[in-house]
Structure 1
Amino acid sequence: MTAQTTSRPASLQLAEPWGGAGWVVDLGGPVHWVDYGGPDGSEDGAAAVPIVMVHGLGGSHLNWVGIAPELSRRHHVYAIDQAGFGLTPGTHRSTSVHANADLLARFVREVVGRPAVLVGNSMGGMVSLLMAAAHPELVEGLVLIDPSIPVPRQRPDLAVSATFLVYATPFVGERYMELMTRRTSDRQRVQSVVNLCFADPSLADPAVVDAGVVLATHRRTVPGQEAAFLGAARSLMKVLAVPRRYRSTMRSIDKPVLLVHGELDRLVPVAAARAVAADNPSWETMFLPGVGHTPQLEVPEQVRERITTWLGEHAL
């Protein structure tokens, strides 16, 4: 099954400046994804495995424009908008991490058509881990970029902790999201995410920021976007609340794994990544000094080069 025969072109083509073509496919509801092209698979397995990129909480397919075009030289690269994010609506379906793991599995099975390497950032890393554990036959390897993982006991970032406490509280979270939507402009909202996720916000690509503003403006017209975000955030926190089970899930992965983590990540401190790496000694790691929560946007060249090397080392 080819994606082009089952999908229709998206009405908003935000990834076009970076060589990506947006499509919408029906997978129990409309799902937006971006095709960066690249060599397709063949029966003799000569072509490199495809890559599917999975964004984090509040993110979208735009999170990958810094590394996807170059990776598509050797791999067919896809970027999916999870349910409730980007250009994929969350209305009438769950936006939990487990539901999005099931959606990701269906996307790989029905759109990509063969096992893939999953590249996940933040919540997308958690979703990729859950999907790989539940559907190992669909996964050839994992690249986890600052994934959502259990945090060791230490002094937390107070602003981040306070925000997630608000998200977790019924009614309070909904009211907070409504107020933020009303009282901040789309550009202010995008810039606030950059300020939180980048160690050095000046490194944000202005073209990516502008595209994010266009997306934020569009999302104001999407019903239930606040509920979709909170549903995903709360489900993520439920997984983190049972760290023993989540760590067991991570240890069950028997595919090659590359862990990339910014040492100045405010959302998932590097101590969490070092602990997970120690618990999974077969994983390969790359820790990036002076980098925040979204290295693929902050230092795309470094991330792209490491992923390319890792893929070659594993013949993927």
Structure 2
Amino acid sequence: MQTAVAAATGAYWQWRGHSIYYVKAGEPQPHRPPLLLVHGFGASTDHWRKNLAGLSQDFQVWAIDLLGFGRSEKANVQYSATLWRDQLHAFITEVIGQPAVLAGNSIGGYTSLCVAAQRPESVAGLILLNPAGPFTETQTVTKPDPFREIFFKLTRSVLLMPLPSYMLFQYVRQKSMIRKTLSKVYLDQSAVTEQLVEDIYRPSCDPGAAAVFAAVFKAPEGEKNDVLLSQMTCPLLMLWGEGDPWINARSRGARFRQHYPQLTEYYLQAGHCPHDEVPDQVNALIRDWMLSL
């Protein structure tokens, strides 16, 4: 099938002297914006394979590897959502050539939100799938535990040291550990395939991958979600995998709705990566929402 072939082939784009990998599927649609898919931590364009194939009949669909991930260069730079925001903005401007609907999962969702809020000229709409990112804490019910704070700071400082960070990276990049982590964040265990494990393992073998892992730990915390939402004006679709063990999807969804009441949202029987776990449902919801824009 042509779309599957298109989804599996890609190209490289040079940005700030670094090689950035992307894939494209489908033809430009005169009255429909293109769709740009942005992966989460440790993932890549491969994680959107089912969505590229499923949505490229109706839209021109792009997916990109953030700098430091997938087939993109493992550059020795300071990583942050601001860096990736600028990468996405430049890609939309220079390569896609028109405002796009951004769809992001996890840290890719937070980065996409940064683009929509701070580079609105690039974004025709925003789709967030179990997005990361902090909210402003409005109230402190209890005093912070000083011992917990000290332990957290000590643990983080140890992980930022080259040798412990490298050893942790070597541990978590084992295929058995990747599979174990995926098994925790997917409800449907049949979706945790050998190919999925391989797709996440392969980039960890690239030169510089261990340094990227350490650098992402050092990344400064970005702007709060509520501040970003207050700056945003585009349509917003939120798709939540309700079985995500890392976040409470319902209470987190309520925070987004509080700060952006005009959003559209759906809760799905899936974990942290609903686009890969229940792709047919996600593709149908994205298709209907984009056609209604």
TM-score range, shorter chain: 0.7 to 0.9
Question: Which residue is equivalent to 1:99?
Answer: 83
Q: Taking every aligned residue pair, what percent have the same amino acid on both sides?
A: 25
Question: Which residue is equivalent to 1:138?
Answer: 122
CA distance in 2, matches of 1:226, 1:54: 22
Correspondence 1:259 to 2:244: no
TM-score, normalised to structure 2, is 0.84
CA distance in 1, matches of 2:84, 2:165: 22
The partner residue of 1:191 within 150, 175, 179 is 179
Please give the per-residue CA displacement for 1:52-81, whole angstroms capped at 9, x wherever unaligned. 111111111111112111111111111110
TM-score, normalised to structure 1, is 0.78
The partner residue of 2:263 within 262, 271, 283 is 283
Maintained 8 Å contact 1:57/1:229? no
Q: Within 5 Å, give how 1:1-316 maps onto structure 2.
A: 19-28=7-16, 29-35=18-24, 37-40=25-28, 46-150=30-134, 169-173=156-160, 174-183=162-171, 186-210=174-198, 212=199, 216-223=201-208, 225-235=209-219, 238-239=221-222, 243=224, 246-270=225-249, 271-288=251-268, 290-314=269-293
Please give the per-residue CA displacement for 1:62-113, whole angstroms capped at 9, x wherever unaligned. 1111211111111111111001111112323332111010011001111111
Instruction: Output the amino acid matched with 1:265.
Output: D
SS in 2 for 1:19: helix
| Stretches of structure 2 lacking an aligned partner (at least 5 in a row) | 142-147
CA distance in 1, matches of 2:108, 2:239: 13
Maintained 8 Å contact 1:54/1:79? yes
Structure 1 residue 286: Cα displacement? 0.6
Maintained 8 Å contact 2:103/2:128? yes
What is the count of residue pairs matched by the alignment? 277
Q: Structure 1 residues 184 and 282 mapped into 2: Cα distance closer, same or farther (>3 Å)?
A: closer
CA distance in 2, matches of 1:55, 1:193: 17
| Stretches of structure 1 lacking an aligned partner (at least 5 in a row) | 1-14, 155-160
Maintained 8 Å contact 1:263/1:291? yes
